[in-house]
Chains A and B, each alone.
Chain A
């Protein structure tokens, strides 16, 4: 894909540049709105919790000859439970039945009768019973890990980048990703199972992973910032985002591809299950992570960083010099105007050929 490589080249040299840091207000507003919306949806609709959280029994009958819901309903009526049952047909040979909590005896009964009704050996009926506190337990543990992880990772990032603003920005982006993903779950009404929680937790790692790569480039571009006056901190950071843009896109594509594969297989061939639940959460989360490390983490970092006196001072210096260059250009001072300005790497000029030589008569150019 030559155009994509060309795109990368242009982004790298700064010939083409998306002003991502400059438009931070726009991104922050959008992100804040999304987060608020997510929180609202979460508050109003709530999450569609799976039986792992509410407690209940679930049966999966695999390899059935017929995929009729009625058979399962009949069985449950026979057993004489007044439990509400939810029957889902998955793929063309798997039936899933969810009921409220059944006792041990009832579970065995129902499993046997289901096997009978669908004409499969009893061993092909999978039953699971979940106590009402299991999901809570998983969630508590997940929140616990979340807090510990955040503390540890902040420490690591502060140590690695030596700038606390990067850690803060990365964490804000991370929270954004998680809230957004959960919000989307609430909005669409996907079922939340412990496997989904695993997915949410993985987003943590992935989101930070992505941010670290971008920040690494930001740091590289802004080391020795004060030793030059061609570009300000914000511009250096913006260049970094642009330079890693191709990588970000490639990374998210490569990251999402296998997840999409699981999602596809999980949703169409396996039905609800660990694979689908993990991959769905990851699918949403990975895309959000890539976006947030570009549009939220870096601008936020720049915003925080530009409050530092050293950086403000430097930015002013850059401005001053630019004005000087402009003034010089206007006044026709060639030496002054020739000074490089901007974020692009210093690319040496080529030989300009004959055309560049002085002429007796200046051609007019459009």
Chain B
């Protein structure tokens, strides 16, 4: 055959080896020299842990993707700060938030995740550096304010004081009237939100003890009382503030966006600013606040803070009254905003404009024991399934069953490598549904081989030599395999992008294995067949090879025209006389039977849909003629 010289099965197999080598080499290298693992990471239902599925809802409005991202960011901040390691928070299906917490998290942690974040505008009463009060500074300076200021200059020296010492110092400093108790009532009735009378002894104490250098305090815990003053850290931990009561809720923001500053001459500069548009009511309140604050410019109290989830995200100065509900935040001339900064601030403001509340859709707490058990049983099920398939293939396809087995093993190895790599590269975690997907995929992968083998057998039945049958069968099976795998892949992709929870894990493994199926069939099964057909066992159609032409009904001698006859198994080697006689005998018997059948059917009427078989009418059509 002319094409045979162009067949390079070994070369194709080498490609496969390279793929395998790269996958496992990479994994091994990352396990050896980096913090990689040689096994895939497991999802919570296999490892044990708690999974929450939250549905964010906003009052009377659609929740946008940016808001979900922002909500996730806030949640992650909270969870990370609470010291829970390896929490997984992600959005799924575009609208649900899935929170996975390993182990058995406390109720506080769970509440932390579920609590919604609010944004409020508060006026800024006092600002200080991020560290807590410095007890040594207290001794030298009588003025508590100065002590607080001073402590910020050298925050690195803080750890040498115990919490108790700091608390004691703070208590002393805060207890202004010296009665040993921290009053929570303002000394005088505050006249406005900007009145420093809001700073009670208790507030002062909280302020002194607050350590914004400790990341645990940089967590938005939410739940701040809008009518009371608040002690809060800046989001990045660079400062701490005492803030007045909330005067304007974030919900009064209509929209916020990042843009370029347009100066008074109407020229667009390259300075980034955040533009805020308030609602009508919000604009009026904001106008009042800014009027008051602009008047306080001399005392330095002309600042207000935007507090999201108890953290100050921005604390701008007010230069003049802003009457029209259109505010603009500019960076200082020393450090102008970058585009990222304004964009992130605008996102936060938008998030505050539409606070999201979370509804718990499901909460699963899976014990590690149960998870391990399920994984174990899942693997057991997979092995049983694999064993049964191999057994069935051996019975059905004899020698070819071994090819199936080898192909499945290769597919298994690639899948294992791919999943492990995925769990390291994109943080994929194998869930129970994923395991189910893998097990189901065994059948679908094995089916590709069946399609191919059946096609080869079809070709053998047509009377082709084995070598040709393997190529022609491949040409046809390839199309079928690709088409049906494409359908499967499509299903997996649609499921993955749209679905939530377990469906995703399942779709992922299903899609992955479909892809691997194509790789294995192209790079292993087909070249393997090409190689095997060169062996005596397969190439000459041994009885147990599964490719025995006689077994496949191709023993009828094929008439090649001009009186030449060849048998299906006839290759260059030729047949013995005895074999030829046997074939002829069989053919004659067959013929007689067929003729009898044909006659019977002829009388029944030849127009019956599938009545007459062609071989009864013998002779006129040759194989070449049909093609």
Do A and B form a real pair?
yes
> Could you tell me which A residues sit within 8 Å of B by CB distance?
1-2, 4-6, 8-10, 12-15, 17, 19, 21-22, 52, 60, 62-63, 104, 108, 111, 122-131, 133-134, 137-138, 141-142, 144-145, 148-149, 152-153, 156-157, 160, 194-195, 197-198, 201-202, 204-206, 208-210, 212-213, 216-217, 220, 230, 232, 234-235, 238-239, 243-244, 246-247, 250-251, 253-262, 264-266, 269-270, 273-275, 278-279, 282, 319, 322-323, 325-326, 329, 337-353, 355
Contact B433 A124 (CB under 8 A): no
> What per-residue 1/0 map shows which CB atoms of B487-503 lie under 8 Å from chain A?
11011101100111111
CB-contacts of B453-511 with A (<8 A)? 454, 457-458, 461-463, 476, 479-480, 483-488, 490-492, 494-495, 498-503, 506, 510
Contact A261 B506 (CB under 8 A): no
The majority secondary structure among interface residues of chain A is helix
A5 and B392 CA atoms in complex are apart in Å by 14
The chain B residue with its CB closest to the CB of A259 is B440
Contact A351 B377 (CB under 8 A): no
Known A326-B606, A347-B556: A13·B461 in contact at CB below 8 Å: yes
Contact A145 B499 (CB under 8 A): yes
Contact A258 B611 (CB under 8 A): no
Residues of B within 8 A of A104 (CB): 107, 110
Q: Tell yes or no: B178 within 8 A of A by CB.
A: no
A-B contact pairs, 12 of them (CB 8 A): A14-B614, A129-B363, A137-B361, A145-B495, A201-B499, A217-B480, A254-B392, A255-B447, A261-B382, A275-B435, A345-B462, A348-B560
Contact B490 A156 (CB under 8 A): yes
Q: List 8 A-B pairs, minimum CB-CB distance, nearest first.
A: A258-B385, A349-B618, A9-B553, A205-B491, A346-B621, A255-B443, A261-B385, A134-B361
Q: Tell yes or no: B362 within 8 A of A by CB.
A: yes
Contact B461 A238 (CB under 8 A): no
Residues of A within 8 A of B353 (CB): none
Contact A13 B361 (CB under 8 A): no
Contact B367 A124 (CB under 8 A): yes
Known A5-B552, A251-B447: A261·B388 in contact at CB below 8 Å: yes
Contact A239 B610 (CB under 8 A): yes
Q: Point out the residue from A111, A157, A244, A274 that lies within 8 Å of B502, measured CB to CB.
A: A274
A5 and B398 CA atoms in complex are apart in Å by 11
Residues of A within 8 A of B395 (CB): 1
Q: How many A-B contacts are there with CB distance less than 8 Å?
A: 370
A240 and B53 CA atoms in complex are apart in Å by 48
Contact B558 A350 (CB under 8 A): yes
Residues of B within 8 A of A210 (CB): 484
Known A124-B369, A205-B510, A350-B584: A251·B362 in contact at CB below 8 Å: no
Q: Tell yes or no: B409 within 8 A of A by CB.
A: no
Q: Point out the residue from A63, A141, A243, A351 that lies within 8 Å of B584, measured CB to CB.
A: A351
Known A130-B361, A144-B498, A254-B392: A201·B377 in contact at CB below 8 Å: no
Contact B487 A60 (CB under 8 A): no
Contact B440 A62 (CB under 8 A): no
The majority secondary structure among interface residues of chain B is helix
Known A13-B553, A13-B613, A142-B499: A4·B370 in contact at CB below 8 Å: no
Known A201-B491, A247-B450, A258-B386: A340·B362 in contact at CB below 8 Å: no
Residues of B within 8 A of A194 (CB): 501-503
Residues of A within 8 A of B479 (CB): 216
CB-contacts of B571-589 with A (<8 A)? 584, 587-588
Q: Tell yes or no: B288 within 8 A of A by CB.
A: no
Contact B619 A338 (CB under 8 A): yes
For A216, A250, A326, A337, the residue with the greatest tally of chain B CB atoms inside 10 Å of its CB is: A250
**Cβ of A202 to closest chain B Cβ, rounded Å:** 7
A142 and B492 CA atoms in complex are apart in Å by 12
Residues of A within 8 A of B367 (CB): 60, 62, 123-126
Q: Point out the residue from B104, B432, B557, B612 that lies within 8 Å of A274, measured CB to CB.
A: B432
**Cβ of A86 to closest chain B Cβ, rounded Å:** 18
Contact B55 A353 (CB under 8 A): no
Q: Tell yes or no: B141 within 8 A of A by CB.
A: no
